[in-house]
Amino acid sequence: MLTQMTTASMKSTTEQFVDRLEEFGVSWTTTRPDEAETAITSAVTTPAVGVSPAIDGVSLPPTVEQALSPSTLDAAATGVTEATLGVADYGSLVIPTTQAGIEPVSLFADQHIAVLRERDIVPGMDDALAERGDAFRTDDWSGIIATGPSATADMGALVTGAHGPKTVHAIIVQS
């Protein structure tokens, strides 16, 4: 359960985050770690490919293929990855670029499911950059601030789902 707050200005960071997710057309669920696998299963469209989230107690269901290859990427309807951070002000998901292939898994399938810890939701964009600053400098860290599905207005009207995912679902894991 989210913390109950009475007025808009008193919204929790998580409430702000999910409000913004919805504004950008991103669906979401909250879950406890031991129920995360079930939450992922019910959100996934198969065939699915995934990189196991580095979140304690969370693992991917067997319906999600973890052996990554170009052909599994090509075939996947869903890609499941972790998100390093959430940014409440924008409803953004910060997707890390890793050797395990989080970037292509989050990018090539029509649906992206991002799993993140509730405690990794930061209030603003400045907080996100401050949190990641040293990782960029010392670890050559790369990541994508992803907000909503991919989109284009180049074909005469706004279309969601250009080169990247057409839909995005966030699974917020409470501690």
Partner 1 sequence: MSSNNASNTTKAARINHILETEGDAVADNTQGFNQGRYDSVAKLDDYEGLKTEARAIKEDAIERLPELIDDLRNAIEANGGTLYLADDAADANAYISDVVDDVGGERVVKSKSMTSEEIELNEALADNGTDVVETDLGEWVLQVADEAPSHIVAPAIHKSREGIADLFTEQFDPDESLETAEDLTMFAREKLAEKITTADVGVTGANFVTADSGTMALVTSEGNARKTVTATDTHIAVAGVEKVIPTVEDLHPFIELIGRSGTGQDITSYISLLTPPVDSPTLDFDTDTLGSADDRSFHLVLIDNGRMAMRDDDELRETLYCIRCSACSNSCANFQQVGGHAFGGETYSGGIATGWEAGVEGLDTAGEFNDLCTGCSRCVNACPVGIDIPWINTVVRDRINRGTDAELDWLVDGLTPDSEPAGLDLGKRLFGNFSTLAWLGSATAPISNWLANNRLSRQVMERVAGIDQRRELPSFQRETLRDWMADRPSVSDPDREVVLFADVYTNHVQVDRGKAAVRVLEALDVAVRLADVRASGRAPLSQGMISTAQTHAEAVAADLTPHISAGCDVVVIEPSDHALFQREYENLLDAESHTQLADNSYEIFEYLYGLLANGADETALSAGDGEEIAYHSHCQQRTLGVDRYTETVLEDLGYDVVTSDVECCGMAGSFGYKKDYYDVSMAVGEELKSQFTTPETDDRTVVASGTSCLDQLDDLLQRPPKHPVELLAADID
Which residues here bind partner 1, judged by CB under 8 A? 68-71, 73-74, 90, 92, 97-104, 107-108, 125-126, 129-130, 132-133, 136-137, 140-159, 161-165
Q: Which is nearer to partner 1, 36 or 143 (CB)?
A: 143
Residue 70 CB, nearest distance to partner 1 (Å)?
A: 4
Q: Which is nearer to partner 1, 16 or 31 (CB)?
A: 16
How far apart (Å, rounded) are the C-alpha atoms in residues 144 and 97?
8
Q: How many helices (H) and strands (E) does the chain have?
A: 5, 12
Query: Which one, of 1, 63, 55, lies nearest residue 29 by Cα?
Result: 1
3-state DSSP assignment of residue 69:
coil
Residue 40: CB atoms within 10 A of its CB come to: 26
Residue 99 CB, nearest distance to partner 1 (Å)?
A: 5
Q: Which is nearer to partner 1, 54 or 151 (CB)?
A: 151
Q: Which is nearer to partner 1, 60 or 128 (CB)?
A: 128
CB 131 within 8 A of CB 47: no
